[in-house]
Amino acid sequence: MKERIRNWLENHREEMVRDIFDLVRIDSEKMPAKEGMPFGEGPAQALALALSKAEGYGFSTQNHENYVGSIDMQDAPRGLDILAHLDVVPATPGFTVTQPFEPVEKDGKLYGRGTADDKGPAMAALYAMRALKELGVPLTKNVRLILGCDEECGSSDIEYYYKKEAAAPCTFSPDACFPVVNVEKGHLVAAFVCKTEPKSGAKPCITEAQSGVKFNVVPDTAMMRVANVDQKILAAAAKNLARELPVKVTIETFADSLRVTVKGKSAHASTPELGVNALTAMLKLLHDVKGSFAATDDTATKALLALSEVLVHGDHAGQALGIARDHEVTGPTTVSPDILELTEGSLQLTIDSRMALGSTRENTVGTLESVAETCGCTFDVERYSETHYVPADSQFVKTLIACYEDVFGREGSKPIAMGGGTYVHEVENGVAFGCVEDEDETNLHGDDEHVAVEDLLKGSVTFALAIYAICGGE
């Protein structure tokens, strides 16, 4: 069966690539809601196109009020749900191979926003279902592919869906890596917040600052405007920073201020070590010239100076914050400061932490509330979830690993833990499964996001075998 499925997919390779490119051309970043479009036009357009393609391949589909769409293999009791998403993170400005929504294939790789996360894997799952259908492989249970539109901004879409629909006995999401992710760390998204006051006089202060676009993306750019600070001291510190870190720092002179811009490298917030956080690099610069702000009486400037003491560049574990933990099942806690917004009236700095087992509200949120108070801020929690865990010795996990090993030629594979969260985080007996191997680099959430076509094909074969293993028996 494996070879029949592989041959079918090889014969439909160009068609699958074309379907992926059609979806990637749609900018499906979450936008303000419109009537009948809870996440804006882009996600709704992508969902409509995906469902239309599935209908054209003979599947039964349903649009659940543009929150999610569902695609059913057949009319039978469900044995498996596959959860993928069509929304994307915002386009970053540093794409070089192509533009984010102008997909191309180069050297066997598909480039464009969403190719790896998660439009490519979503189509790989659909083509796995299509291969089984067109090859006439008998199934006794139904498999449902569920395509969501708000995974990157909180998964309110899948929450809405499960209020109306029951989950299948088994669920996987092709939104991570092989062999199987059976542990997802706890997740905290929260902000240090303080009210600011109108700037006055000739004392040194930070008048404006901005960095980041989303809580789960390591920011690649940070900017601040400073007033009444010696430009020579700032320029010397910027030069030293660029020597010490792989960042680019520019300083522009205006009549009333200096504008500092730091350029780093984006990454997924669950793996902050893979990026170069421009926000924390800028805080390091601020910390290096803190003496220049000794006379400040500005609350926002004081708060940022205090935060620069605890949001230390390269401290991905949160040691300075006092929340660092490690566990053999989950690995260590990670912390990524992702968004900074300082305007007249407010300062808000948002962090994204993926928490190891052993982390609790008391020893994490409680600790950070104390840190915030010391820095002259409040601490506002936007999201908090505990660790998600499916036992490695469960029949479901063992079945998926067996399918992966069969296709990829591996032996002795073990399930893994990750900091990233997927749709299955709140789903009982839900795991992440594919669509690339753990060590594969796809520039997830960054510039030149890409995925190898061969990885999608092997992933699709693996999904098909898993569907048959779970839904093909009595």
Res 362: pLDDT:
96
Choose the final residue of a domain: 327, 353, 385: 385
Segment 342-363, tens digit of pLDDT: 988 899 999 999 999 999 999 9
CATH number for the domain including 153? 3.40.630.10
Q: Are residues 333 and 235 in the same domain?
A: yes
Q: What pLDDT shows up at residue 338?
A: 98
Does residue 147 sit in the same domain as residue 6? yes
Residues 6+ apart with CB under 8 A from 236: none
User: What does the pLDDT read at residue 411?
Assistant: 93
CATH number for the domain that contains residue 338: 3.30.70.360
For the stretch 162-184, pLDDT in tens is: 999 999 999 999 999 999 999 99
Instruction: Specify whether 167 is located in the same domain as 116.
Output: yes
Structure tokens of 109? 């790789």
Which of 385, 406, 429 finishes a domain? 385
Q: Return d(Cα 319, Cα 273) in angstroms, integer.
A: 15
In this predicted structure, the answer to whether residue 474 has a pLDDT above a threshold of 70 is no
Of the three residues 385, 412, 436, the one that is the final residue of a domain is 385
Task: Supply the DSSP symbol for 425.
Answer: G
The 10s digit of each residue's pLDDT in 196-218 is 877 767 899 999 999 998 888 99
Burial class of 222 by CB neighbour count within 10 A (0 to 12, 13 to 18, 19+)? buried
User: Is the Cβ–Cβ distance between 69 and 147 less than 8 Å?
Assistant: yes
Q: What is the mean pLDDT of residues 306-310?
A: 98
Three-class DSSP category at 353 = strand
C-beta of residue 20 within 8 angstroms of C-beta of residue 103: yes
Whether residue 25 is predicted with pLDDT greater than 60 in this model: the reply is yes
User: In terms of residue numbers, what domain contains 203?
Assistant: 186-385
Query: Measured between alpha carbons, how far is 148 from 85 in angstroms, rounded to an integer?
Result: 4
CA distances from 306 to 207, 372, 381 (A): 16, 9, 20
User: How many domains is the chain partitioned into structurally?
Assistant: 2
Are 65 and 132 in a shared domain?
A: yes
Same domain, residue pair 400 and 330: no
At residue 5 the predicted structure's pLDDT band, cuts being 50, 70 and 90, is: very high
CA 198-204-208 angle, 5° bins: 55
* 387-403 confidence digits (pLDDT tens): 999 999 999 999 999 99
Residue 18 backbone zone (phi > 0: left; psi -120 to 50: alpha; other: beta) = alpha
Band of residue 450 on the pLDDT scale cut at 50, 70, 90: very high
Judge if 372 and 421 occupy the same domain. no
19 shares its domain with 143 = yes
Q: What average pLDDT does range 449-462 have in this prediction?
A: 97
Q: Span 304-328, mean pLDDT?
A: 97
Q: State pLDDT tens for residues 229-254.
A: 999 999 999 999 999 999 999 999 99
Considering the domain architecture, whether residues 218 and 357 belong to the same structural domain is answered as yes
> In this predicted structure, what is the pLDDT of residue 462?
98
Same domain, 43 and 22: yes
User: What's the confidence (pLDDT) of residue 421?
Assistant: 84
What's the rounded Cα separation, in Å, for the pair 437 and 229?
49
Average pLDDT over residues 2-13: 98
Residue (of 31, 24, 196, 72) closest to 471 by Cα position: 72
Mean confidence (pLDDT) of the chain: 95
Confidence of residue 473 (pLDDT cuts 50, 70, 90): low
